[in-house]
Amino acid sequence: MNGRPLPLAGIRVLDFSHVLAGPMCTRLLTDLGADVLRVESTKHPDTPWRTASDAELDRTYAYVMVHRGKRSIALDLKSEVGNDLARRLGTVADVIVENFSAGVMPRLKLDYEHLSPANPKLIFVSMSGYGHDGPRRDWTSMNSNLQAYSGLMMATEREGSEPVSISNSWMDYIGGLHAAFAVLDRLADRAKTGRGAYVDLAQFECGVATLGALVMCGIVDGTLPPRTGNRSAGAAPQGCYPCAGSDEWIAISIENDEQWHALGGALDHPAWCADPRFATLIGRQRHHDELDELLSAWTRTQSVDEVEHRLTVAGIRAGKMRRMNEVLGNPDRQTAFRFVETGRENGAGRVLHSALPFGFAPRSEPEFGATPKLGEHSADGLRDWLGLDASEIARLTASGALV
């Protein structure tokens, strides 16, 4: 970034992860400057992102988003030579990340127990769905069943509706964020103690961690917290209200009496504020359905942009619902501030990447490396990490270990 050293520069990360949860963790480490060497194989491509031919799915945005700037080495981990190379790479890695089911890495003898004696500074992160102990340790997992088991599905929608998951692989992103945080924590500890660590992350627990008070309510008094949909115990009215046009919506949240009176003024309906039913937050909570009807009747007659303008000028928390193709297309380009256009991606043209959602002063523009083709850096990785020369790499290629 404009010559500024990144915080994880010089840190080597050996990435055995696949699909999204683990790759999201290592993507964040890459963005912070780590040298991430991704272990892959044409025999077991990372579906659905890769194909064995390595021809089409390399260029999907989902793959580009989580693997930018990494390097790829193709190893047959089930061959003796390929497995030995992976162990040698593990002895010089600072961090290893894997999100296989419990038992896979021990069977390959690539787990923390096998690698740490030769590399006591190693930080090894396992991030399976249910963790590596307990009765569910051997269960496989996906985003939806992890949301169900964590209780997250019962925190969405409203009472009486069927359980609904949060889309866009929520658990994978949450798991990746927690895993990256764990790596940073262990690196800070290693800087003081000189010792590595084993991190056993259960992805479902990451979902539980986001529920906070809802889980505690169930433990303290044994009751199930109500499913409130768009509503909140600390605000009323609060919801997403229809505006003029087709499928246009505005989200509004009123937390106190001052905001309530400001809303009445902004909407030219001061009589609402004089209604004793709505005089207090408790009253507005009790009569939320009536408030929703009043607000919806007004917002339906107005354009969403007009409602957003009038409310935000009045100091009210409000925001129009934007579709995915509008997120980067709004006139003020607010979101675009965090997106960066990078160079060509494997012949797919220029690609727009999301940067880390925080900046530093003075601000600098991130520079993201291209997404690797499968095995593109096998020779470079073995040379840089293990010091192998061209003849040794040629011999390994001929042996079939690099596939």
Given a cut of 90, is residue 198 above it in pLDDT?
yes
| Cα 90 from chain centre | 26
Q: What pLDDT was estimated at residue 255?
A: 94
Q: How confident is the model at residue 345 (pLDDT cuts 50, 70, 90)?
A: low
Mean pLDDT, to the nearest integer, of 365-390? 89
Instruction: State pLDDT tens for residues 238-286.
Output: 999 999 999 999 999 999 999 999 999 998 888 888 899 999 999 999 9
CATH superfamily assigned to domain 238-326: formyl-coa transferase, domain 3 (3.30.1540.10)
12-210+338-399, CATH topology level: Rossmann fold (3.40.50)
Provide mean pLDDT across the span 285-294: 95
The per-residue pLDDT for 61 is 72
pLDDT winner (highest mean) among 57-66, 131-140, 257-266: 257-266
pLDDT tier, 155 (very low <50, low <70, confident <90, very high otherwise): confident
Decide: helix, strand or coil at residue 238: strand
Q: Where are the domains of the chain?
A: 12-210+338-399, 238-326
Question: Range with the lowest mean pLDDT among 91-95, 264-268, 391-395?
Answer: 264-268
What does the pLDDT read at residue 373?
A: 85
Q: 17 near 23, Cβ under 8 Å? A: yes
Q: Looking at 67-71, 288-292, 367-371, which range is the least confident one? A: 367-371
Strands (E), 183-236: 197-200
Helix (H) or strand (E) holding 89: helix 80-92
Residue with tokens 């169900």: 148
**Percent of residues in the chain assigned helix, strand, coil, to nearest 5:** 40, 15, 45
Q: To the nearest whole number, what is the mean pLDDT of the chain? A: 86
For residue 78, give the nearest of 119, 36, 110 by alpha carbon.
110
